[in-house]
Amino acid sequence: MNLEARPSHLSPVHVDSEPAVAACARPTLLCLSHLRWGFVYQRPQHVMTHLAKDYDVLFFEEPLFAEGAACTLEVATPAAGITLLVPHLPWGLSQSQVDAAQRRLLDDYLTGHAAAELLLWYLTPMSLTFTDHLHAKVTIFDCMDELSAFKGAPPDLLQREQKLMARANVVFTGGYSLWEAKSRQHGNAHSLPSSVDIAHFAAARQTLPEPADQAGIAHPRLGFFGVIDERFDIALVDELAARRPDWQLILIGPVVKIDAASLPRRPNIHYLGPKGYPQLPDYLSGWDVALMPFAINESTRFISPTKTPEYLAGGCPVVSTPVRDVVRGYGDSGVVTIAASAEAFIAAVEAALEAKTEDGFLQRIDQVLEGMSWETTCAAMKEQIECLR
């Protein structure tokens, strides 16, 4: 799973001292995550930040391992109402020892800091191994992806997911296709796709100062931001760049679970690396077309990319491979074009470049995004939780 480098802004805190007495009036929402808070700002960060208005959120990440490390829990506050908990463990522990250490660290922390009412929010069923003893008023499974289809997925993930499904009071899915699959396994499943912070990305509709590493790149610019992993269609990107050397492809994001040496290298392909969430509109403002070159395979069968509405909110037309939820949600929108081959992708980009100059293009985008917001998504989630409390 995701074991990225330790966030630099955190500092270790030992929790084997005498716990303080908790005096929390609000429920504690314990989010168990396979994604790190400081990695890519996406659904977990948006949702937890909104829910922190009503609950005291604990965001518990997967362990970081180091030679000779003591079993400690790192504690930080990355956002208002959010407490980030990162276990530090020594190398060489068996899986049962890792689970026992996480259980002990978490129990010690909850003894001193949790409210009387505990809500459990699972982003991964693998966390069940060290939390199955906790008594929660409500247990939520936010199934944002089909994790079993991802590269490097634990072999027992599906078995753990079945156990979590049996325990969960409510299941949220990151898209409609995923809901179709999970609703057959749980009677209280709801499709709540990832949404968009329209105000944040709408800044890209204005001319913003060019980031230094993008300023010297010629137009037209075709851009992508997100994680570059096994879901990325490397061959498509390579062929697109080869057949249209006059187009500049700008790729922003970390390379994860694939060898960076396998990525295509051409003069018109620009890898700018990971960027912070606040910086994304600055880059998007300078793009002519936004790309979603996802491979069509098992790892993308159920995805519902957050970047679709983010690109659109920035006023940028989108060209995507035929991801099921993108076709279902945006295929007839007139602002997202679906293309299944390199030849079709080139034609779609050409059409998108023309469409962006047409009168009424931004109005069509606004119609597509109408009513879409993280506030709406999180309010629906909270309503389900409150009905179960």
What tokens does 181 get?
């699959």
Per-position DSSP letters for 313-380, written without gaps between them: HTT--EEE---HHHHHHHTTSSSEEE-SSHHHHHHHHHHHHHHTTSTTHHHHHHHHHTT--HHHHHHH
Domains of the chain: which residue ranges?
12-195+374-388, 198-369
Give the pLDDT band (50/70/90) at residue 25.
confident
pLDDT at 157: 87
Dihedral in degrees, nearest 10, Cα atoms 73, 76, 82, 84 = -30
Residue 165: the pLDDT is: 96
* Tens digit of each residue's pLDDT (9 = 90 or more) over 193-219: 989 999 999 999 999 999 999 999 999
Judged against a pLDDT cut of 50, whether residue 54 lies above it is answered with yes
Task: Choose the weakest-confidence range: 85-89, 257-261, 283-287.
Answer: 257-261
Handedness of CA 94, 95, 99, 102 (dihedral sign): positive
- Tell me the C-alpha to C-alpha distance, in Å, between residue 153 and each of 129, 352, 380: 16, 37, 30
SS3 assignment, position 309: helix
pLDDT at 124 over 50: yes
Lowest average pLDDT, out of 14-18, 72-76, 294-298, goes to 14-18
pLDDT confidence of 155, banded at 50, 70, 90? confident
Tell me the per-residue pLDDT of 350-365, one tens digit each, with 9 for 90 and over.
999 999 999 999 999 9
Do the Cβ atoms of 306 and 194 come closer than 8 Å? yes
Provide the angle, in degrees to the nearest 10, between the axes of the packed helices 374-388 and 43-51. 60
Listing DSSP states for 91-121 in one string gives: TT--HHHHHHHHHHHHHHHHHHH--SSEEEE
CB-based burial of residue 6 (10 Å sphere; 0-12 exposed, 13-18 middle, 19+ buried)? middle
Q: Which residues pair with 251 in a beta bridge?
A: 224, 271
| Distance of alpha carbon 340 from the chain centroid | 24
Residue 20 clears pLDDT 50, i.e. is over it: no
Q: Is residue 270 scored above 50 in pLDDT?
A: yes
Q: What confidence score (pLDDT) does residue 81 get?
A: 95
What is the pLDDT, as a whole number, of residue 3?
35
pLDDT over 70 percentage in the chain = 94
Give the residue-averaged pLDDT of 16-41.
76
Q: Per residue in 1-12, pLDDT tens? A: 333 333 333 434
Q: What angle do CA 289, 293, 298 make, to 5 degrees?
A: 155
CATH topology (fold) of 12-195+374-388: Rossmann fold (3.40.50)
If pLDDT is split at 50, 70 and 90, which confidence band does 18 have? very low
Separation of alpha carbons 216 and 119, rounded Å = 49
Rounded average pLDDT over 315-331: 96
Question: Which distant-in-sequence residues (6+ apart) come within 8 Å of 240 by Cβ?
Answer: 222, 247, 249, 293, 342, 345, 346, 349
pLDDT of residue 5: 36
Average pLDDT over residues 238-243: 98
Q: What pLDDT is attached to residue 82? A: 98
pLDDT in the model for residue 90:
97
Q: Give the mean model confidence (pLDDT) for residues 157-167.
A: 94
pTM: predicted TM-score of the whole model, two decimal places: 0.88
Decide whether 12-195+374-388 matches 198-369 in CATH topology. Answer: yes
Q: Which helix (H) or strand (E) holds 49?
A: helix 43-51
Tell me the pairing of strands 318-320 and 336-338. Answer: parallel
Tell me the average pLDDT across 49-72.
96
Mean pLDDT of the chain: 92
Pair type for strands 72-79 and 12-13 = antiparallel
Read off the pLDDT of residues 94-117 as tens digits, 9 standing for 90 and up: 999 999 999 999 999 999 998 889
pLDDT at residue number 267: 98
Strands, E, within the chain: which ranges?
12-13, 28-32, 56-60, 64-66, 72-79, 82-90, 118-122, 138-143, 170-173, 189-191, 221-225, 248-252, 269-273, 289-292, 318-320, 336-338
In CATH, the architecture of 198-369 is 3-Layer(aba) Sandwich (3.40)
Q: 48 near 32, Cβ under 8 Å?
A: no
Confidence check: pLDDT of 23 > 80: no
Q: How confident is the model at residue 320 (pLDDT cuts 50, 70, 90)?
A: very high
Write b or e for each residue in 296-309: b if 16 or more Cβ atoms lie within 10 A of its Cβ, otherwise e: eeebbebbbbbbbb
Contacts (Cβ under 8 Å, ≥6 apart) of 228: 251, 253, 254, 255, 256, 258, 263
Average pLDDT of 155-174?
A: 94
Token pair of 191 as six digits: 């499709």
Residue 174, helix vs strand vs coil: coil
Looking at the chain, the whole-number percentage of residues with pLDDT higher than 90 is 86
